[in-house]
Amino acid sequence: GNSVTQMEGPVTLSEEAFLTINCTYTATGYPSLFWYVQYPGEGLQLLLKATKADDKGSNKGFEATYRKETTSFHLEKGSVQVSDSAVYFCAQGSGGSTLGRLYFGRGTQLTVWP
Amino acid sequence: DAGVIQSPRHEVTEMGQEVTLRCKPISGHDYLFWYRQTMMRGLELLIYFNNNVPIDDSGMPEDRFSAKMPNASFSTLKIQPSEPRDSAVYFCASRGQIDNSPLHFGNGTRLTVT
């Protein structure tokens, strides 16, 4: 079936620390992969995406590479800021019978301290 | 574009009352999704529509929940009768037809049933 597994939170880091949030997926076919971010009191918003193997999505200093061989899409940032504190969701979208919907992970809460 | 618009932002009601949540998707988007978010269960897909037709309602928790999309610019999620365990944040999201197009979320409706 289709699913996404991401690392359990919460993650607490000091400003300028390196961030990794792990994400793996199971899918039929070759899905598109996404990272979404949710700030307090808001809906989820797209952070970055990758649509095929070896693609790297990047935005606001965050990066993730589509690894087909390990079915992974880990999120990284070299130097986090207090303003990055939010909940991060990994998601995948497959075609076929589930065309249109995205499958989300449970979310990882990130808190960055000054 | 104004994005996905949900109303109301907050709803407090007593157990047994009917609750109606409203959503206006982004113009031109073919898919509309209703999600529920709680601390315990994370982000759950309740139902989604393609071109105003319900595609998958297997996530609707029980018959007390119903959703409609009478036209391309409006959808409702109704709970009748409401129960305290329905307390959650309900999100509406929409996306275009292209397979890797991202979801756009509204800011959600925070429902409290006392």
Task: Say yes or no for a CB contact (<8 Å) between B102 and A49.
Answer: yes
List beta partners, residue A44.
Answer: A38
- Report pLDDT for B53: 95
Residue written as token pair 């037709």: B53
d(CA A67, CA A23): 11
Q: From the candidates A44, A87, A103, A104, which should be mutated to test the interface with B, based on the most B CB atoms within 10 A?
A: A44
Which of B55, B99, B105 is facing A93, going by the closest CB pair?
B99
Contact A88, A110 (CB under 8 A): yes
pLDDT in tens, B14-46: 999 999 999 999 999 999 999 999 988 889 999
Is the predicted pLDDT of residue A98 greater than 60, yes or no?
no
Q: Does B74 touch chain A (CB under 8 A)?
A: no
Amino acid at B110: R
Amino acid at A89: F
DSSP A61: T
For the beta carbon of residue A92, count every other beta carbon within 10 angstroms: 22
Sort out which chain A residues have CB atoms less than 8 A from B91's CB and list them: 43-44
Nearest residue on chain A to B51, alpha-carbon basis: A100
List beta partners, residue A28.
Answer: none
Sort out which chain A residues have CB atoms less than 8 A from B100's CB and list them: 32, 49, 51, 93
For the beta carbon of residue B40, count every other beta carbon within 10 angstroms: 6
Amino acid at A15: E
- Report pLDDT for A99: 62
Element (H, E) at A42: none
Q: What is the mean pLDDT of residues A64-90?
A: 96
d(CA A18, CA A58): 16
B86 phi/psi in degrees, rounded to 5: -80, -5
Pair of tokens at residue A113: 């301290």
DSSP A100: T
pLDDT in tens, A14-69: 999 999 999 999 987 788 899 999 999 899 999 999 988 999 999 999 999 999 99
Which of A42, A100, A106 is facing B107, going by the closest CB pair?
A42
Nearest residue on chain A to B34, alpha-carbon basis: A101
